[in-house]
Amino acid sequence: DTAVSQTPKYLVTQMGNDKSIKCEQNLGHDTMYWYKQDSKKFLKIMFSYNNKELIINETVPNRFSPKSPDKAHLNLHINSLELGDSAVYFCASSQAGATYEQYFGPGTRLTVT
């Protein structure tokens, strides 16, 4: 009965590859987010979707493309991976009227070699 789940938990890949991270929430929330946490624990929002519509699109390389097939899922696809993409990626969700009370997934640690 995990509220926000992500797969995979760990992802090790080589530069230039394309990879995807999946996120699902069973809380019935309308809004989902992707965050990137660097090695110093700094957390930066990348994208948010509300009911499958893109709401926030921060300044990230266009190699990163989010996709929301339905409001319970938000996937992150990354093309042409670079060393600097190594980080922990967190998915989160929130319900309408409580945008800032976010529920986070366990994170996906991406290592690009």
Q: How far is the CB of 100 from other proteins (least distance, A)?
A: 3
Q: Which range binds other proteins by CB under 8 A, 12-20, 60-68, 74-82, 95-103?
A: 95-103
Residue in 1, 14, 39, 41 binding other proteins, rule: CB under 8 A: 41
Q: How many CB atoms lie within 10 A of CB 96?
A: 11
Segment interacting with other proteins, rule: CB under 8 A, options 11-19, 38-46, 62-70, 73-81:
38-46
> Exactly one of 12, 27, 43, 96 binds other proteins (CB under 8 A); which one?
43
Cα angle, residue 51 at apex, residues 41 and 93 outer, rounded to 5°: 30
Dist CA 37 CA 41 (whole Å): 5
Q: Which is nearer to other proteins, 14 or 42 (CB)?
A: 42
3-state secondary structure labels for all residues of 88-100: EEEEEEECCCCCC
Question: By rule CB under 8 A, what string of x and - marks binding of each residue 4-23 to other proteins?
Answer: x-------------------
Instruction: Tell whether residue 27 is a contact of other proteins (CB under 8 A).
Output: no
Of the candidates 96, 58, 52, 98, the residue with the CA atom closest to the CA atom of residue 75: 52
Residue 66 buriedness (CB in 10 A; 0-12 / 13-18 / 19+): buried
Interacting residue ranges for other proteins, rule: CB under 8 A:
4, 40-43, 45, 48, 55-56, 90, 92, 99-107
